[in-house]
Structure 1
Amino acid sequence: MDLSRRYDGDIRALTGASRAAALDALVEDLRAADPLVRDDGAYVTAVRWIPGLERAERHCLGDRMATHFTDPAVQARTFAPLVLARIVAAGDWLEAWWSPFAEWYPAETDLRGHDAELGWLHAAAHGADLLAALARHPGQDPSRLADLAVARLLAPTEHLFDAQEDDRLAYALAQVLSDPDLGAEEATAWLVPIEKAFRTGEPGPVPPWASNTMRTLRMVYLLTDRGLRTRNTDEPAHKVNHREAVLEAVAATLAVVAPYTG
């Protein structure tokens, strides 16, 4: 397939049946097993096309991505939140998309970052990208977003994050903690189930979920202390809300598994 010819057009130049057919092809290619088709072709094109779509078209694309969360193909499931994040960045979000995402994210068992044949899968990171986008979208419940990130971290897994998934989850949490409407209690309540899970630890090798969670919290601490930037912008770094309380709570949670931190 000549990807440059398949996706060299501007969606805004198409009308009627041609436009609908182009979007249908895009949706199909977003679940393709070939990473050249899916990642280098369809996803790059989705990034370019989404801002120029009509709102109804973005909603339709979002509906179709929501159905991908139950697709038998792992690459279809893991690219759905990435596309939804772009739709959110363009200003659109439907509550109907939340349940499919929230049911899939902590339940996904294939957490590989990169596969030699399928290319990037990155379920944990791509889900985190959608959470970060939602954290910047008006009208979202920050506690719900944080709780879903925690559910992903605490879900049993044999996969140890090896492609900066912990950084992406920490970034999403820091975005949530930057919500100006976030209350002081909400800013630290998401840590309670993590502390409880840490206290169930027993002597022996550290389970992957615990290691993943520890490394995520360390990055949350760093972003809370130093501030964070909105990805792909030149905006100055901004601080999370209730900074001192969050720093103290994150440190106390990590002290459960690293008592030498003081």
Structure 2
Amino acid sequence: MTLLNVNQLYFAYGDRTIFDQVSFDLEPGQIMTILGPNGVGKSTLLSCLTNQLKEANGQININDRPLDSWTPKDLAQHMALVPQDYRSGAHLTVIDYLTTARAPYLGLGQVPNGKDEQLAIDVLEDLGIKQLLHRRLPTLSGGQMQLVAIARALVQDPELLILDEPMAALDLGRQRQVLKIVQQLAKRGVAIILTTHIPNQALLLNDQVGLLFPGGEFLAGHCQEIISSDRLEKLYHCPVKVVYVPELGRSICEMC
């Protein structure tokens, strides 16, 4: 069953084409990693997929329904977004902030209950940051806030999780942790889209990939079919080499 269908999506700022003919399907449990250099338009593409930018031409369907037919509340029960470099000025504690993600499931006048709080605690524990439970958001570091933002999206319990460069502010250990969480969520049937400019993250996840080139060209498919040395050199304008490492059982990308 196709959860997300994107067909011939086009977006431009004036005469500048950001992307053209973006087409791909995403099923429950699949991971789509969108690769591209800084400033190419990856975040803009995610804004279109989450209905924040409505000016794109083309078709986006979620569960066979056009994206623009969903109310914000209904869409929030199916999709969660973690934007790049998320910052919040609110003076909420982490636990209070996380339980706000349950709002799409609450009726008028309802507030999160003990079950919602326990879900938030469980997510923090899974992410290894339960010690932040009662910290206030302004006291968190950039990396801690990024993990808390991911936790909030998980508390929302979406079918489709969209992450805009979720590991940009994280050290190597936390990056590995987030990648493992992404893989675990996919095994549970959550569909995931994430953006990055690091090819090795896509190769490690070993699933669907989309290459967004300067000028708007988009190429999608399985990473083993799409990622090659020639394409990465075209994408990043530098010499790179994709090599298979027997000890890892997969390919990696090296700069030459």
- TM-score, normalization: structure 1? 0.28
Higher RCO (C-alpha under 8 Å, 6+ residues apart):
2
In terms of fraction of residues, the more strand-rich structure is 2
In terms of fraction of residues, the more helix-rich structure is 1
